[in-house]
Amino acid sequence: MSVLLLLAIILALSGLAFILGRARSISKVSGNIRDLHSLPGYYGWHTALTVLFPSIVVLVLWLVIQPMVLSNGAAKFFPEATRADSVALTLALDDARRVSRGLDAMIANGSKSEAEIAALDTATTDVRALLAEVNVALGSDVSAESLDAAKYMRAASHSGGFWMALAVMAVAGVGLIFGLSQVHPEFRARNRVEKAVLGLLILASSIAILTTVGIVWSMLSESISFFKMYPAGEFFFGLTWSPNFSGGSTLGFLPLLWGTLYITFVAIIVAVPLGLFTAIYLAEYASPKLRSWIKPLIEIIAGIPTVVFGLFALVTVGPILRDYFAQPLGLGTSGSSVMTAGIVIGILNIPFISSLADDIINSVPQSLRDGSFGLGATRSETVRQVILPAALPGIVGAVLLATSRAIGETMIVTMGAGAAAKLSLNPFEAMTTMTVKIVGQLTGDTDFASPETLVAFALGITLFVLTLGLNILALYIVRKYREQYE
Amino acid sequence: MKDQQIEERAVTAHTPRITARKVNVHYGTSHALKDVDVDILANTVTAFIGPSGCGKSTFLRCLNRMNDTVASAKVTGEILLDGENIYDPRVDPVRLRAKVGMVFQKPNPFPKSIYDNVAYGPKIHGLTRNKAELDEVVESCLRKAALWNEVKDRLDAPGTGLSGGQQQRLCIARAVATAPEVLLMDEPCSALDPIATAQVEELIDELRSQFSVVIVTHSMQQAARVSQKTAFFHLGNLVEFGKTEDLFTNPKDPRTESYITGRIG
């Protein structure tokens, strides 16, 4: 029985439990609902939860544990030497698993019967060719042990599936009976259901946190293996970045950090004034009708994929900057440059800042504007001296969020600033950022045992720490001004 | 002493600062204020009373063109400040509001320090030449608002950190610092407790020596306590306007009598 079908059955059963639980609570008080502690619906929900929750737990546990048990059982078919080496054992088990899937496929398309499968023997038949017919490709001929293990896995997983269905349904049934037996007028069904909902909310919020922890952990473990191969001092303080996949690379991280910070700086210089001025115009000066047109138009920019922005940088901004600024000023002949990428990322961030800042400015109470106008202040004095200071914490938060986005931007940098890691002050020179190099080091044939590949993880975790630091700074600033103003 | 006061009042009673004639206000299709004629006299506290929605706040906001910020409001008629029509296209509402200051119902200190709140008006209007002069203005205005002793040691603290009554007195100090000729107050005590209310009322009485004060209030006792002239508004009409003691003791219009005796409103 498939897991999906089983899930459907559990859901149907809990639906039934809801109806039964609800009906039972009403009949307990012979229709006089006011005698119940909770509304009848809560009794229904509680009964449904006593069906759903334990059976899902059993299902999930079974799905996690069964493959482990199967692998342990199948390992017995392989010789001692294979079992001693964990890598060889994993490979052998993977093969056996693939063979067992192939056997299933043969049954499914009718080319072999159960009896024929049981009689299969590597000595008399070419199992590899048979498997190839059902689109299961193997790297080598199937060994006798592998076939035996596969047969065992098939049998065990079939009976496992049967027992799992039985166990889950038994738990669901017990849950239903238990849930129904709990229904009586004094039972506090509402409190129980609300507790369950609370649990669900906590679970939902913890998943995001756990994901972050998982990301950090996976990057950290790879970074540690990188630093075992490559000295951390040379990575963090090295002034040259020249990876060489045949060995002997110099992986100095400073040129990348410099490129990242330089491009981000240019982007913020472009985005903050333009975004902020847009927001002030929209929030304080534009008529409501005009605003309802301009705001969505600006926000269209936010919907353009960054690759398209990259094209814009490559074919328009880059050449213009080169022909009209870089070459006349004698600052270089490169179309891809820090300025190109920075300006385009800045434009990308304008709607982000303007939209956030517009909302923040709008949330400044009207009474402050009235107070200022009432003292004979002009609109511009009011904006500069009352509105902006009041909105400052939110605006700083918006700017730092935009900074994080600029730091993480990859596509525009790849197309607009090139891929040359350089330490230079000239903004019209091609440079590159950490994110571009992370992609660069991980694309193509990768060998996860070489420092050239693993450096991507070290860069990743550094980037993570960098943006985390920015976010903490943002929180600190916001909190500081909150204390002062509220 | 008492004779002297009466004499003073008699002298000043004949110099109107603001003269409003046939003022009508429309908010979209609703006619909020109908043909209102009022004279605001110098060195006098004028109270506007009436039930909610009677137009008293609307009229108050006409006097410094705060209704300009409401897009749907349309004001017709004539309001003269010292003989000049404030709705004349040549009049800059910004300069007008510097002359006709306003204190609002809810205390609305700016998110700045106490000092900067009071210094706001003098700074934007360039009323002082140097820091020392500004310090002097801030101190004298805080003294006038009876707040100096409470805040003199923490002028750098945020104005929003004060209590409700202190915040309102700060707002009054802020309005006074702009050196207006007329001070409009829109229910300045409605968010305050009785003690703070008493302080503000005392303050209003002191301010009378320098400004004309117009106060909108829901409390008839307050109107009786602080004002010399009272206007009663009802459903957008100015029903009765006269000396406070006359209006409360000997109302001419039956609607005024019903209101002040608590039968309508």
Cα–Cα nearest to A220, from A466, A17, A460, A475: A460
Q: Do B111 and A484 touch (CB under 8 A)?
A: yes
CB-based burial label for A425 (10 Å; 0-12, 13-18, 19+): exposed
Q: Which among A363, A373, A375, A380 is the top mutation candidate for probing chain B, defined by the most B β-carbons within 10 Å of its own β-carbon? A: A375
Cα gap A160→A27, rounded to integer Å: 41
Strands (E), B161-244: 182-186, 212-216, 229-234, 237-243
Tell whether the torsion through CA atoms of B248, B254, B260 and B261 is positive or negative. positive
Q: Is A447 exposed, middle or buried (0-12, 13-18, 19+ CB in 10 A)?
A: exposed
Tens digits of residue pLDDT in A291-350: 999 988 988 888 899 999 999 999 999 999 999 988 888 888 888 899 999 999 999 999
Between chains, do B124 and A367 touch, taking CB under 8 Å as contact? no
CA angle B150, B154, B160 (to 5 degrees): 85
Q: What is the largest CA-CA distance in chain B?
A: 56
Question: What is the rounded distance in angstroms from the CA atom of residue A395 to the CA atom of residue A474?
Answer: 10
- Sort strands B30-41 and B16-27 into parallel, antiparallel or unpaired: antiparallel
Nearest to B121 among A367, A375, A485 (CB): A375
By C-alpha distance, the chain A residue nearest B111 is A485
A382 in contact with B, Cβ within 8 Å: no
Provide the shortest C-alpha distance from residue B248 to chain A (in Å).
31
**Rounded distance between C-alpha atoms, residue B203 and residue B212, angstroms:** 13
B121 vs A: CB within 8 A: yes
8 Å CB contact of A368 and B111? yes
Q: Which helix H or strand E contains A403, and what residues bound it? A: helix A388-408
Give the per-residue pLDDT at A112: 77
Q: Any idea which residue has 């009466």 for tokens?
A: B6
Q: Where are the beta strands (DSSP E) in B42-167?
A: 45-49, 73-81, 84-85, 100-103
pLDDT for position A174:
95
Q: Could you say which of A376, A484, A485 has the minimum Cβ distance to residue B125?
A: A376
Q: How confident is the model at residue B164 (pLDDT cuts 50, 70, 90)?
A: confident
Reported as a single tens digit per residue, the pLDDT across B100-153 is 999 998 899 998 899 999 999 999 998 888 999 999 999 999 988 888 999 999
Which residues are B214's β-sheet partners? B46, B184
Token duo for residue A17: 């439990």
Q: Which residues of chain A have pLDDT under 50?
A: 486
The DSSP secondary-structure symbol of B52 reads T
Report the greatest alpha carbon distance in chain A.
Answer: 101
CA of B215, closest CA in chain A: separation in Å?
15
What pLDDT sits at residue A313? Answer: 92
**Which residues, numbered 199 to 258 in chain B, qualify as contacts with chain A under a Cβ-Cβ cut-off of 8 Å?**
none
Whole-number pLDDT of residue A171: 94
Instruction: Count other Cβ atoms within 10 Å, centred on residue B139.
Output: 15
Decide if B69 and A370 are in contact by the 8 Å CB cutoff.
yes
Higher pLDDT, B202 or A121: B202
Q: Could you tell me if A383 lies within 8 Å of chain B, comparing CB atoms?
A: no
Annotated domain spans of chain B: 2-104+183-260
Residue A476: both structure tokens together? 């600190």
- Percent share of chain B, pLDDT over 70: 94
Per-residue pLDDT, B244: 92
Contact at 8 Å (CB) between B184 and B191? no
Rounded to a whole number, what is the distance in Å from the CA of A436 to chain B's nearest CA?
43
Chain A: give the shortest CA distance to residue B237, in Å: 25
Which residues from A are below 8 Å from B61, CB to CB? none
Q: Binning pLDDT at 50, 70 and 90, where does residue B72 land?
A: confident
Instruction: Give me the residue label for tokens 């240019």.
Output: A266
A373 touches chain B (CB under 8 A): yes
The predicted structure's pLDDT at residue A263: 94
Domains of chain A by residue range: 3-187, 192-221, 235-485
B2-104+183-260 topology per CATH: Rossmann fold (3.40.50)
**B152 interface with A at CB cutoff 8 Å:** no
Architecture of domain A235-485: Orthogonal Bundle (1.10)
Q: Which of B120, B168, B174, B181 would best serve as a mutation to test chain A binding (most A beta carbons within 10 A)? A: B120
Nearest to A374 among B64, B106, B124 (CB): B64
